[in-house]
Amino acid sequence: MAQRIVRTDDLDESENAETVRFSVDGQDYEIDLAEANRQRFHASLEEFIGAARKVTPSAPSGRGRGQRQSTVPFRRQDIPQIREWAMGLSMDISRRGRIKKEIIEAYDAAHH
């Protein structure tokens, strides 16, 4: 039997919500928002994001001599949301495995 998972908006309980992650004052948050509320969320932050500096992850401190730096690349936490978004738009994407760079870029453009 197939099951369908429907994510609902945390504000108005509308369907087809996607998780939005953000941080304020060092505290990480996430909220599920449908398209209209995602747009409201991003629009309300647009002025602040436009004036802000992007922060790049820094290397962990305290590595002593002989310790190797990890070669594991940064892993996005929103891969399930990207896959769900792409499938909803009938993009050519598999249920498992790597996601094409073009799809990730399209998702980022649509959500940031």
Q: Is pTM beyond 0.75 here?
A: no
Sign of torsion over alpha carbons 106, 5, 78, 10: positive
- SS3 readout for 44-79: HHHHHHHHCCCCCCCCCCCCCCCCCCCCCCCCCCCH
**What is the reported pLDDT for 96?**
83
**What is the reported pLDDT for 111?**
83
pLDDT profile of the chain (112 residues), mean per 10 = 88 93 90 94 90 78 55 72 90 86 89 78
Specify the CATH number of the domain 77-112. 4.10.320
Query: Cα(22)–Cα(30) distance, rounded to whole angstroms?
Result: 6
**What is the reported pLDDT for 19?**
93
Domain ranges in the chain are 1-53, 77-112
Specify the CATH number of the domain 1-53. 3.30.60.230
DSSP, res 33: E
**What is the reported pLDDT for 64?**
54
